[in-house]
Amino acid sequence: MTRKFDRRHVLAGLGGSLALPALGARGWAQSPSVKIAQLEILSGGFALLGESNARAVEIGVEEFNARPGQAVKLEVQLFDSKGSAQEAQTIFSQVADQGVRYVTGGGTSAVVGSLIDAIGRYNERNPGKEILYLNHQAIDPDFTNARCSYWHFRFDPHVLMRMDALTTFLAVDKSVKQVFLINQDYAFGHQVQNGAKEQLATKRRDIKIVGEELHPIGRVKDFSPFVAKIKASGADTIITGNFGSDLVLLIRAANDAGLDVKFYTYYANALGAPTALGEAGVGRTRLVTGMDLNALNPRMQWIHKRLREKYPKIELFHAAYFDMIDMLGAAFRKAGSTDPRAVAKALEGLTIEGISGEITMRAEDHQMLAPLFVQTFGAADGVAIKKGIEGTNFGFRTEGRFKASETIQPHSCVMKRPG
């Protein structure tokens, strides 16, 4: 069973840490293991996001450890960051003292940014004990641009890569004429808003931005005033990076008001959004994502089935965890070591076959280049949408696929490398 920890419950030594179970447990004790601290939001309004991340990583690690001949096992210890940069800093200090050399997790830009900075400072002060940060979900472009770090690797296409795919698809939809932007008021939401404006200005100059709203993250309980503004603006389309309760409540308010608009989204495929969309979302809700649930390879079919069997309430909505685990394993093999210095060098420029196609870790900024999909919400038909999600009869069908080479965005990273 996976357990969660906060700073009051960090174990005195890693001898008490949680080893995610391997199917092929024989030889576990004799095999070297790599300990990874995973920091997720496991309490508060976005707990479902953190829980989904934790369970997916658990099953991904289970599958990795069970592979025949797997020389290195992964051992994950889960912590609750509470969505707080201060809490994340405290947890990091404790796990660093315990000898953990790898940190992963999602969370807000504030949490992830604070960890990138903390790990950079720690590594400068502790040569020979370097720690790597494996970012599977925080997609603020700054983390591989102005704030890039040699010790940070991002395994998920960032905001502008996703927006490029989304707006490329939107640009050919001639029914889109007036767009309203509504996003969470923090770094990620700002990047979504600015990226949409910049890219629409290039791809469809005729489209008018008829309104923009930034709202407090995770604190709005009633989106009806925002929906009233959207309705009054005459918008026919909404672009939003909202996730979790901020997306669910926005969708519910729109449905309650009879708001007839298209939604172009980043995270409408889980965390309650498909349930909230229902019949009203069919044909008018679109999503940019890193995988197609309707075309999973055999490995991902096993992971999906295992996740649904063990955690029926958790939906598979995110791809980066699994590419991260695979690429980490490939870097171990390439380096012939699990030492973070050697693994960081091995990760740079590494290309492997990911869950949706070829993926590459760009050496210059440590941004992974991976395929992206644009999908539309609809009723399951057993073919384009094989099964409904969240217990509904609805899911997403793929209408546009972008190879990794088609998602590339320029970067401004000036990487400070260790001597």
Average model confidence (pLDDT) across the chain: 92
Q: Which pLDDT value is given to residue 6?
A: 43
Do 176 and 114 have their domain in common?
Answer: no
Do 360 and 400 have their domain in common?
Answer: no
Give φ, ψ of 201 to 5 degrees: -65, -25
Q: What single-letter DSSP state applies at residue 290?
A: S
**DSSP per residue, 162-207:** HHHHHHHHHHT-TT--EEEEEEESSHHHHHHHHHHHHHHHHH-TT-
The distance between the two most distant Cα atoms of the chain, rounded to a whole number of Å, is 66
Q: Which domain holds residue 253?
A: 160-289+371-406
Q: What single-letter DSSP state applies at residue 292?
A: -
Mean pLDDT, rounded, for 208-233: 98
Do 57 and 144 have their domain in common?
Answer: yes
pLDDT digits (tens, 9 = 90+) for 286-300: 999 999 999 999 999
pLDDT digits (tens, 9 = 90+) for 315-354: 999 989 999 999 999 999 999 999 999 999 999 999 999 9
Do 234 and 336 have their domain in common?
Answer: no
* Closest CA relative to residue 239, chosen from 186, 292, 175, 195: 195
For residue 29, name the pLDDT band (cuts at 50, 70, 90). very low
Q: Provide the CATH number for the domain around residue 180.
A: 3.40.50.2300
Count of domains for the chain: 2
Sign of CA dihedral 89, 94, 97, 102: negative
For residue 24, name the pLDDT band (cuts at 50, 70, 90). very low
Do 380 and 330 have their domain in common?
Answer: no
Answer for the pair 4, 60: CB distance below 8 angstroms, yes or no.
no
Do 390 and 321 have their domain in common?
Answer: no
Do 139 and 13 have their domain in common?
Answer: yes
More confident residue, 90 or 26: 90
117: in domain: yes
417: in domain: no
Do 60 and 139 have their domain in common?
Answer: yes
pTM: 0.91
418: in domain: no
Do 144 and 12 have their domain in common?
Answer: yes
Do 361 and 383 have their domain in common?
Answer: no
- Alpha helix stretches (DSSP H) within 38-177: 47-65, 85-97, 109-125, 159-171
Do 174 and 251 have their domain in common?
Answer: yes
Do 251 and 110 have their domain in common?
Answer: no
